[in-house]
């Protein structure tokens, strides 16, 4: 079946602009995660959604970052007033439920802030 998909695959933006990154999880997966992969920091957890519960935002690096998940499926990660240090690959992962610890990753969105 279809895996996790993300769009766009690449995004180049100017410092100060807002960007939206999209994730389509595997159908039926209730858990959704966002991670960031950058040269200096490696892979970092950002935010977690489980069904219709309030998200766990403990990994978001600043209040410029937010995410939502509509209808328990598609998720959008928004970065406001982008900075150069936001340049990274943003990865989305999904999991069948909260009791399953195997996560399935999408191909990522490479964000470059000029």
Partner 1 sequence: GDSVTQMEGPVTLSEEAFLTINCTYTATGYPSLFWYVQYPGEGLQLLLKATKADDKGSNKGFEATYRKETTSFHLEKGSVQVSDSAVYFCALSGTLQGGSEKLVFGKGTKLTVNP
Residues that bind partner 1 (CB under 8 A): 4, 31, 33, 35, 42-45, 48, 50, 53, 56, 58-59, 91, 93, 98, 101-108
Residue nearer to partner 1 on the CB measure, 79 or 93: 93
User: What does residue 84 show for φ and ψ, rounded to 5 degrees?
Assistant: -60, -35
CB of 112 to partner 1, least distance (A): 17
* CB closer to partner 1, 48 vs 65: 48
- Is the distance from CB of 36 to CB of 67 less than 8 angstroms? no
- For 76-114, the DSSP string reads EEEE-S--GGG-EEEEEEEESSTT----EE---EEEEE-
The minimum distance between CB 14 and partner 1, in angstroms, equals 27
Q: Tell me the C-alpha distance between 3 and 57, whole Å.
A: 24
Nearest distance from C-beta of residue 82 to partner 1, angstroms? 23
């Amino acid at each position: 079946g279809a895996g996790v998909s993300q769009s766009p695959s690449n995004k180049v933006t100017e410092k100060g602009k807002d960007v939206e990154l999209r994730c389509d999880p595997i159908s039926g997966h209730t858990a959704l995660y966002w991670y960031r992969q950058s040269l200096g920091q490696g892979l970092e957890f950002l935010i977690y959604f489980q069904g219709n519960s309030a998200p766990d935002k403990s990994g978001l690096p600043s209040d410029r970052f937010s995410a939502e998940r509509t209808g328990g499926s598609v998720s959008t990660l928004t970065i406001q007033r982008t900075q150069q240090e936001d340049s990274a690959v943003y990865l989305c992962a999904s999991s069948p439920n909260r009791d399953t610890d195997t996560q399935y990753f999408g191909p990522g969105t490479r964000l470059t802030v000029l």
